[in-house]
Amino acid sequence: MTKKRLMRDPLNLIITGVGGQGNVMISLIIGNTFVRDGYFVTIGETYGASQRGGPVMSHVRISKKTQYSPFIPDGCADIILGMEPVETLRMLGRYGNPNVITIINPRPIYSIDVTGGNAEYPDLDKLLETVKELSSQTWVINATEEAQKMGSPMFANAILIGALVGSGVLPLDKKSVGPVLRETFPKEIEANLVAFNKGIKLVRS
């Protein structure tokens, strides 16, 4: 049982990305850890058809007191974990506020609207600037890059969970998350733990 407290109750965490990135897995790990610590957790997800290249967002509501709805009301996000740059900005537009804390993986995934020539992907540096302006605190974590160095882009998930835990914005630590990680990644658990630790290192550097 961790001694730390939620910085707000309910704590509203959004994890956003593109279908197929492993979004759902991150929310599950975080959610399960908190439930075992005695919290109420509600996770709302948009998936199904949207897996096919569409945007995916998970709304995680954490509370000591009661079960909240699976939707974070507009403007009420406390933390945004963005696995893809424009999706992060999309979330800030709707759910951001001056206090929001953002962790962002700056690796673009181009939609077919962009590759097909009907839409422009914004300049990445300018986008990151905007994200910083719209957040009280921002961490840029090159999760995909680091994951590719480890041999597969899928390690980005564990890296980002590490970053989230390492940042201290949630009352979680390695001890509480560790067992849940082991259950969730039965294959390649050691590699994922390495990735997780890398994420902690990255956010603290």
Partner 1 sequence: MTSIDIDAPGTSQLLVGNEAIARGALEAGVGFAAAYPGTPSSEILGSLAQVAKNAGIYAEWSINEMVAMEAAAGASFAGIRALAAMKQNGINVVSDFLANLVMSGIGKGGLVLVSCDDPSAISSSNEQDTRPIAQWLDIPLVEPGDFQEAKDMTKWLFDLAEELGTLCMLRSVTRIAHARGNVKLGKLPKKQHKAHFDQVHDLKNVMPTTLMPVPSSLRHYFLHVKIDKAREKFESSSFNRYVGPDKADLMVITSGNCWLYSQDAVKALGLENRVGILKLGTLWPMPEKFIRKHLGNSQKILFVEEIDPFLERSVMEIVANLPSSSPRPTFYGKRSGHINAYGELNPNMVIKAISNILLLTYQPRDVEYSKKAEASAKSNVPERSMTFCAGCPHRATFWTIKNAIKLDGRGGIVTGDIGCYSMGLGPAGFFQVRTMHCMGAGAGVANGLGKLGQFGFDQPVLAVVGDSTFYHATIPALINGIYNQSKFILVILDNSATAMTGFQPHPGTGITAMGEPTQAISMEALCRSLGARVEICDPFDLKSTTATLLEMMSEGGGAKVAIMRRQCELLRAKKEKPPYRVYVDTEKCIGEACGCDRLCTRVFLCPGLTWDKKVGKSKIDEVICNGCGVCVDICPQGAIVREAA
- Could you list the residues that contact partner 1 (CB under 8 A)? 18, 20, 27-28, 31-32, 35, 38, 40-50, 52-55, 66-71, 73-76, 86-87, 89-90, 92-94, 96-98, 107, 109-122, 126-127, 130, 133-134, 144, 148, 153, 183-184
What minimum distance in Å lies between the beta carbon of 151 and partner 1?
Answer: 12
- Between 2 and 50, CB nearer to partner 1: 50
Q: CB of residue 204 vs partner 1: minimum separation in angstroms? A: 26
CB-nearer residue toward partner 1: 52 or 175: 52
Neighbouring CB atoms inside 10 A of 155's CB total: 25
CA distance 31 to 24: 10
Closest of 3, 18, 44 to residue 175, by C-alpha: 3
Q: Which two tokens stand for residue 144?
A: 């995909």
Q: How far is the CB of 164 from partner 1 (least distance, A)?
A: 17
User: For partner 1, which is the closer residue by CB, 93 or 168?
Assistant: 93
Closest approach of partner 1 to the CB of residue 46, in Å: 7
User: Is the omega angle on the peptide bond into residue 186 within 30 degrees of 0, that is, cis?
Assistant: no
Residue with tokens 């991150």: 26
The residue among 184, 187, 186, 181 whose CA lies nearest residue 199 is 181
- Identify which of residues 49 and 205 has a Cβ nearer to partner 1 in the complex: 49
Closer CB to partner 1, 127 or 200, in the complex: 127
